Amino acid sequence: MLFRNAAFFWSSNDLLKTLVEIFFKFFISDEDTSDSTDDDLVLRIKNELTSSYKQQAHKLSMADKFRDGRGLQFLLTTQMQDLMKSQKTVQEAVKNLEGPASQKVIDEATICHLRPMRLPLNSCVFCKADELFTDYESKLFSHTVKGQTAIFEEMIEDEEGLVDDRLPTTSRGLWAVLHEYWMVLRNHVSAIDELGMATERLRVRLPDEPKPKLLHIIEPHEVDQNRVKLLNDQAVAKSQLQKKLGQFLYLTNLEKSQDKSTGGLNPEPCPICARPLGQEWAVLTCGHCFCNECIAILVEQYSVGSRRRAIKCAICRQTTSLAEISYVFTTQSSHQDQDIPVKGSHSTKVEAVVRTLKKIQVTDTGAKCLVFSTWQSVLDIIAKALLDNNLDFSQINGIHKFQENLCSFKYDEKINILLLPLHTGSNGLNIIEATHVLLVEPILNPAHELQAIGRVHRIGQTKPTFVHRFLIKSTIEERMQTMLKTAEKRCVLSETYDSVCSEGKYRRLYSR
């Protein structure tokens, strides 16, 4: 029990750690300490503390708070008493918040921080407890000194291995658990207030009642206006619900049809012509499916509504606007390598990138690939997909472990994929070990694209290099790529025109 208390006191304050380490250094030094006086010990401690705080100019060094051994003892005792007092105060404040929240507590929290009404802040019990947490945190973490060797802590760990596991649960871990528990209690009160707001009913102001600032109390002449607004909201919500139910019905039927179908064919018959839907069909918001031929007839001959921009379902008679008709195509492009499986549920582009990398590993064994993207978040998503498919890779994210990750890609035969952000990896790198460059999205700046390709296609490269571009068909990416190609052609033609000298230019040149 005594040892546990010692471990707790040891872990409770970084200042105590610093001072004990200084004591320990003093007594295990090679010098003979038998003749050392208290003044020598105090002087060494003050020097050590001064050097420890020399990089923290805005903080007052602990060396200025004592002059002799008595002062040092008093300082340690005071620090520990203040810390224990602050810890006890925080525990009591959190304990008082337990139990069902009263209406008074909810009202105070509402006025203080949930819906502040220009009243003094930090007036509720939760905000007051937060101030106590801040005070406890300042005493617990304010004297952290980085870069010092915890000699005494290492000795404790060597002699009693279990102590190191207990320390986080008795000091900083205790603060984290208490603060997390306080957050749970605070969020509980916030949820109760939000539930009350959601279930609060509108009412008309009484004749003798003063005009309040509350939104749920309305004037008599505002009743019809609010009724119309609520009816409109109800109609919109019903429409959205019907649309979502239709999508759910469609997905359910699609799942059943895919279980029975092969090769992307939907064997379900069209409700109008009774022919199989096949690989292309249309879906209405109600969830019913029709072949494209029947939908074209419905749109052309049986449109309803204003300007004839909607049709009625032939089964349930629900109205669907022409813009909300969904067209499904299950035909696969001939150039896609569908025989290469990709694990996990990923987007079309991420799946294409992973499939291309797996194909390169099969067709060009040992080839190394660079994957460039403008956004780091996209590279993180691709990294997750590579992990799902058991593909070893290295990733450069800023300057953290830059050389280490780059060297592992260059010299490790198992790592053949390197993920690089365009702004970091496209400049100044020589990676001729790679032969494939994958550009995840179009690059607006042609110079950056050339820089990215230039990482592998440069002097010293003895193998053929390949560039893979990934564009989503019929999207802005395809139009961007077309625009960039057009701009590149114009630039080449302009440079070619400028480089051609006419007869007049030659005459002026040689006439000088």
CATH assignment of the domain containing 368: 3.40.50.300
Q: Considering the domain boundaries, does residue 208 fall inside one?
A: no
Task: Determine the average pLDDT of the residues in 154-172.
Answer: 44
359/323 same-domain check: no
Q: Is the dihedral of CA 383, 387, 393, 398 positive or negative?
A: positive
Do 170 and 8 form a contact (C-beta atoms < 8 A)? yes
The domain boundary, picked from 329, 360, 390, lies at: 329
| Residue 477 within any structural domain of the chain | no
Domain presence at residue 204: no
Question: Is residue 91 exposed (0-12), middle (13-18) or buried (19+ Cβ within 10 Å)?
Answer: middle
Last residue of a domain, one of 266, 301, 329: 329
**Is residue 12, in this structure, part of any structural domain at all?**
yes
Are the C-beta atoms of 190 and 109 separated by less than 8 Å?
A: yes
- What is the distance of C-alpha 310 from the center of its chain? 41
Residue 36 confidence (pLDDT) above 70:
no
The pLDDT of residue 256: 67
Domain assignment present for 461: yes
Range of the domain at 36: 2-194
The answer on 184 and 142 residing in a single domain is yes
Q: What is the pLDDT of residue 332?
A: 59
Residue 445, both tokens? 């700046």
Q: Which of 329, 362, 393 is the last residue of a domain?
A: 329
> Mean pLDDT lowest for which of 73-77, 120-124, 273-277, 314-318?
120-124
Per-residue pLDDT, averaged over 152-156, amounts to 40
DSSP per-residue string spanning 259-306: HH-STT-EEEEPTTT--EEETEEEE-TTS-EEEHHHHHHHHHHS-BSG
Which residue in this structure is represented by tokens 């930090």? Answer: 122
Q: Is the dihedral of CA 143, 146, 151, 157 positive or negative?
A: positive
**Does residue 501 surpass a pLDDT of 70?**
no
Q: What is the pLDDT of residue 271?
A: 92
Q: For residue 232, is it within any domain?
A: no
Give the single-character DSSP code of 221. G
User: Which CATH number fits the domain that encloses residue 250?
Assistant: 3.30.40.10
Which of 101-105, 169-173, 378-382 shows the lowest mean pLDDT across its residues?
169-173
Pair of tokens at residue 333: 């492009």
Phi, psi torsion values for 320, nearest 5 degrees: -130, 125
pTM over 0.85: no
Q: How many structural domains are present in the chain? A: 3
Mean pLDDT score, 360-369:
90
Residues 355 and 270 in one domain: no
Euclidean distance between CA atoms 100 and 93, whole angstroms: 15
What is residue 37's predicted lDDT score, i.e. its pLDDT? 61
Are 317 and 418 in a shared domain? no
Same domain, residue pair 153 and 244: no
Q: Are residues 409 and 290 in the same domain?
A: no
Tell me: the pLDDT tens digits for 397-433? Answer: 766 677 888 888 888 888 999 998 888 766 667 888 8
In a domain, 502, yes or no: no
Same domain, 127 and 167: yes
Same domain, 409 and 261: no
Among 192-196, 236-240, 495-499, the range scoring the smallest mean pLDDT is 495-499
Does a structural domain hold residue 499?
no
121 shares its domain with 163: yes
Q: Which amino acid is at 50?
A: T
Instruction: Clarify whether residues 359 and 449 are in a common domain.
Output: yes
**What integer pLDDT is reported at residue 419 of this predicted model?**
92
Indicate whether 31 pLDDT > 50. Answer: no
19 & 154 share domain: yes
| The pLDDT value given to residue 381 | 92
CA distance 77 to 90: 20
Same domain, 101 and 152: yes
